[in-house]
Amino acid sequence: MIPLFKVYVPEGTAAKLEPVLSSGYIAEGVEVKNFEKALQVYLCNENVLTTNSCTSSLQIALRLSNVKAGDEVFTTSMTCIATNAPIATLSAIPVWVDVDPSHGMISPETLLKSIEKHPDIKVLIYVCWGGDLGPLQEIDTICKACGIKLIVDAAQAFGGRTNEFILGDGTYGDYTCFSFQAIKHITVGDGGAIAFRTNDDILRATKLKWFGPDRDGFRTANGEIDWTADVPEIGFKMHMNNIAGCIGRAQMDDDINARLFKYLVNDLRLTKALQGTLERSWKGATAAWVSTFLGDNSIGLLDFLKEKEIHASKMHVNNDIYSGFHADSVDLPGVEKFMDRHICLPCGWWVSDDNIQYIVESVKEFYA
């Protein structure tokens, strides 16, 4: 089976972990700080904070955007449930924004229509589907003009860039949330990070990810808890630990650009070879976690590729079908069409030249 996803752990990581495991200090500490510093350098942004998952990062970003119980949040239903679960756990309500059926992401047109209907909503979660950046620049411009906080769910888009910016450098989005879960571009076992546009929220976010206290001022000189210290805002338990931080630093030291470049090369090769058979959904900047294509009879193609030992997938189910979100039912023709026509193919570092050729031949055989 050619897998759609595969875990990558750099050679020598176990040896780097041994002193951490035997140190007696595996909570958040120097290993996490070292990983954060590596991320700050890579993302060209000193305002980066690690967490224990991208979902946690999104929840902190929502709190920083002052979302509270009963508030409404613009978001897409065309994503993993992990994107929208933080809205529900804050007792807020998602307001579904339709997507462009040609790429599966919120578009300027669909966002403006939603803003016209709901002018009082001031927070948007924008998802980079499959690593594709989509019309992020235009979405950012609209959000700035309308006073909307833009939270970018970049769980699938670590390393996405153009010649002008890298996703997470603060150019687009008030908060950019990354995932380091097992099958993402880089993994720490499970973890996440938030990259901020400015440093205005760093202190508050640092407190929120560990229950709420100021850890620098929460203890006295002799190490005891300062019983007089107030905690004005109660937070979460969402910090990264040193085990994850050590793995993360090993990932960043392992020629990460060469590995991420392999995703892009394979995506481009699939796109060129399948031209005229399947249509690549987004044709702009991407981190290419998967290669997303559009075609007829996508379910039949999925079944056929499975028989050929190729793991393809639709990846996620549109979240508007889940009653637990308590969202108003809306007509989402773009989501419906994208769900009907899209298919995600493997393009990661493990996909060989022979695999690419076999995938292309198999797809063309199905449509012959």
Residue type, 57: S
**Structural domains in the chain plus CATH codes:** 13-252 (3.40.640.10), 256-367 (3.90.1150.10)
Give the per-residue pLDDT at 212. Answer: 93
- What mean pLDDT comes out for the span 309-331? 97
CA 77 to chain centroid, in Å, comes to 14
* pLDDT tens column, 168-210: 999 999 999 999 999 999 999 999 999 999 999 999 999 999 9
For all residues of the chain together, what is the average pLDDT?
A: 96
CB 68 within 8 A of CB 282: no
Number of H helices and E strands in the chain, helices first, is 12, 10
List all residues 6 or more positions away from 217 whose beta carbon is below 8 Å from its beta carbon: 226, 229
Please state the rounded mean pLDDT for residues 283-296: 98
Structure tokens at 40: 């700050």
pLDDT in tens, 245-282: 999 999 999 999 999 999 999 999 999 999 999 999 99
